[in-house]
Structure 1
Amino acid sequence: MLLPTHLIVLGASAGGMPALTHLMGQLPATLPAAVLVVQHLAPDSSGEALAARLAAHSALTCQLATHLAPLRAGHVYLAPPDRHMLVKENRVLVTRGPRENNFRPSIDALFRSAAVAYGPNVVGVVLTGMLHDGTAGLDFVKRCGGMAVVQDPHEAEFPSMPESALQSVAIDYVAPLNQMGALLAELVGAPAATPFLIPPDLQLEAAIAERVVGNTDEINSLGRQVPLTCPDCGGALWELPQGRVLRFRCHTGHSFTADSLLDRSRQSLEETLWVALRMMEERRNLLTSMASRGEGQWSVQQEERVEEIKAHINRLREFLLSGLNSADDIAAS
């Protein structure tokens, strides 16, 4: 079996499996590239069933990625559930490293390692999905000389991921799904490009991902520490200035675009407010019990405190139930 001249790296989330099966059916068996796919999956989902579904619609050899599997032209590798899929030289790495953009497997993690390994011979593709995973990944691909492709968001079942990429990265091609197979076959049918100078920061980040964790000296060389904490582990965050997409990461390995960090912090704050509501209701119940057993002035004071905390509870409950669309809603309240 031949080594691939190119890599096609595909990322999809919500609505991804129908889009992927349609796209796989368009790619020829003689494709000179290996295709690596990250589809966001539940940790307990069956990766084998999804690989079989892709195989049923494709002339390519489709398989669930295994650690150290050799890359082969005409083969499709699907990232296993709850595992990152990376590229190292001409092999696939499967790791359980820290989440990136709140996902494992992460599209960004795959795209970065592929871009570092294959440079200008990588085509990165973002399909339908919600939120922002894949945006920074396409920026990595572009910084290493590769090509960036997104599904036309007007036809994507969930357009958030293609739209996010279009807003932040110089995308080379925006294509409807039924034309994407021919486009990808044309792009990887060109002769392999000459070696490209890979940015040192991406080389270091790819090496950290392969080892699962880094250290503070390495992260200090990538960016500057900022007064923010990682929502996943509580550690310090560093702002990474390279590239067109603002990103943050901790020395443990969690990584976020600014948009995904904002969304994750909103979720954490909302969870904290629900806990605060529960504690306030428990305090109200305790004060009510104390007031019912008191006499005279003490009872009056307790009842006043109960009424005061009821007002706080009602305000907080109304705020939470009205829906939180962004962290700015919370800050403005």
Structure 2
Amino acid sequence: MALRPRDVVVVGASAGGVEALRAMVADLPADLPAAVLVVLHLPSGGTSALAGILDRAGPLSATPGRNGERLATGHVYVAPPDHHLLVIGDRIALSHGPTENGHRPAINALFRSAVVSHDAAVTGVLLSGVLDDGVAGLRAIAAQGGVVVIQAPDDALYPALPSHALAAVSPDHVVPAAAIGEVLGKIAGTSVENSVSAPELLRWENDIAGGGVPREKVEYVGAPSEFSCPDCDGALTDIERGQWYRCRMGHAWSAEALLAAQGSALDRAMWTALRTLEERTALTTRMATQAHDRGSPAIAARYEEQARETTEAAEEIRRQLG
């Protein structure tokens, strides 16, 4: 089997990621024989200055990825807002496919596409962040024989993401962000034999991220769950033993991200309930005053009782919200 260079590096980060990325690219070799693709969780609207920041931070040119652009070694490609950054063969693809863990761009989508196209030649890097987007993709890279690099949690501004990765994958390197550039230079100077082709499930998920129509519907890939998708309220299918879920629209959630989204939905529901109760209190109080003014004390007393009940309920919700 022919050898090929480890010439594709994929990097993911979320909270605290700008600082980690700057430290990483500052130490990359100027002649790095690999293309570097970066996903940082971004708001869906507006623009991103990340490419310019990374371009100034290190010796390699950094630009936003463009759809159809051919990968070049010694270059950093950054995901633009509201698009998955994917690798198809030796080119970049930008996709408006379904969100994963509530994100587009998503780290998992980039990692998965790279390993489908480049197999063991991929090096995956996970940096500072919250929750666990990118962990499933990192597992796929490791399973195909790629190299796994994780920022040391005690070096990360937000250690949850690298900590989740360390719990799920046996990494090849765990180092501070400032040391990752040198590590990547050494990895890119090595070669590897391609392993067996990526599993069918990985390819199926990659098709979804690319915005295509998968050959099989999600309900044929896993078992129905009792949960609903926070993005579209559709039923979620359990496709990885309680750790990874997808709905029919293609939105994907890890168990950790789903739990966080449910917590956010509950908070929103409680704030909505609180607002409704306070409005109801104001209305019944006004109606009680009007009843008194009309000389109807019995009706006024009924409205006052309703106002007391809603005030008590609102106070209880406030205590729950902290």
Q: TM-score of the superposition, structure 2-length normalised? A: 0.91
Deviation at 1:18, TM superposition (A): 2.5
1:83–1:4 Cα change, 3 Å? farther
Structure 1 letter corresponding to 2:159: P
Is 1:256 equivalent to 2:257 in the alignment? no
Is 1:235 equivalent to 2:248 in the alignment? no
Secondary structure of the residue that 2:153 maps to in structure 1? coil
CA shift digits 1:12-55 (9 cap, x unpaired):
122222221221122223322111001222334533x4222222
Deviation at 1:126, TM superposition (A): 0.6
> Structure 1 stretch 287-296 or stretch 266-275: which is displaced more?
287-296
Structure 2 letter corresponding to 1:185: G
Deviation at 1:5, TM superposition (A): 4.6
Is 1:13 equivalent to 2:10 in the alignment? no
* Aligned position for 1:303: 304
- Aligned counterparts of 1:182 and 1:196: Cα–Cα separation in 2: 29
Whether contact under 8 Å (1:7, 1:33) holds in the other structure is: yes
* Aligned position for 1:141: 141
Structure 2 letter corresponding to 1:234: D
- Aligned counterparts of 1:213 and 1:306: Cα–Cα separation in 2: 54
1:186–1:260 Cα change, 3 Å? same
Structure 1 letter corresponding to 2:300: S
- Aligned counterparts of 1:312 and 1:183: Cα–Cα separation in 2: 58
> Structure 1 stretch 206-215 or stretch 219-228: which is displaced more?
206-215
> Structure 1 stretch 24-33 or stretch 97-106: which is displaced more?
24-33
- Aligned counterparts of 1:120 and 1:221: Cα–Cα separation in 2: 29
- Aligned counterparts of 1:221 and 1:285: Cα–Cα separation in 2: 52
* Aligned position for 1:205: 205
* Aligned position for 1:319: 320
Whether contact under 8 Å (1:29, 1:60) holds in the other structure is: yes
Is 1:196 equivalent to 2:196 in the alignment? yes
Whether contact under 8 Å (2:6, 2:122) holds in the other structure is: no
* Aligned position for 1:327: none
Secondary structure of the residue that 1:154 maps to in structure 2? helix
Structure 2 letter corresponding to 1:8: V
Whether contact under 8 Å (1:5, 1:73) holds in the other structure is: no
Secondary structure of the residue that 1:55 maps to in structure 2? helix
Deviation at 1:92, TM superposition (A): 0.6
Whether contact under 8 Å (2:97, 2:208) holds in the other structure is: no
Whether contact under 8 Å (2:86, 2:109) holds in the other structure is: yes
* Aligned position for 1:175: 175
- Aligned counterparts of 2:281 and 2:55: Cα–Cα separation in 1: 59
* Aligned position for 2:274: 277
Secondary structure of the residue that 2:124 maps to in structure 1? strand
1:162–1:253 Cα change, 3 Å? same
* Aligned position for 1:113: 113
Deviation at 1:61, TM superposition (A): 3.0
Deviation at 1:145, TM superposition (A): 2.4
Unaligned runs of 5+ in 2: none
**Could you say which structure has the greater relative contact order, defined with CA pairs below 8 angstroms and 6 or more residues apart?**
2
CA shift digits 1:104-153 (9 cap, x unpaired):
11111101111111111111101112222222221221232222211001
- Aligned counterparts of 1:154 and 1:5: Cα–Cα separation in 2: 28
- Aligned counterparts of 2:213 and 2:282: Cα–Cα separation in 1: 46
Secondary structure of the residue that 1:85 maps to in structure 2? strand
Whether contact under 8 Å (1:95, 1:212) holds in the other structure is: no
* Aligned position for 1:69: 69
Q: What is the correspondence of 1:10-49 to structure 2 with a 5 Å cutoff?
A: 10-47=11-48, 49=49
Alpha carbon RMSD of aligned pairs, Å?
A: 2.0
CA shift digits 1:45-89 (9 cap, x unpaired):
533x42222222333232210001111222211111221101111
* Aligned position for 1:325: none
* Aligned position for 1:288: 285
Deviation at 1:93, TM superposition (A): 0.5
CA shift digits 1:228-284 (9 cap, x unpaired):
110111111111127xx8111112121111000000111011101111111111222
Number of aligned pairs?
Answer: 315
> Structure 1 stretch 203-212 or stretch 111-120: which is displaced more?
203-212
Unaligned runs of 5+ in 1: 323-333
- Aligned counterparts of 2:267 and 2:118: Cα–Cα separation in 1: 42
- Aligned counterparts of 2:138 and 2:308: Cα–Cα separation in 1: 55
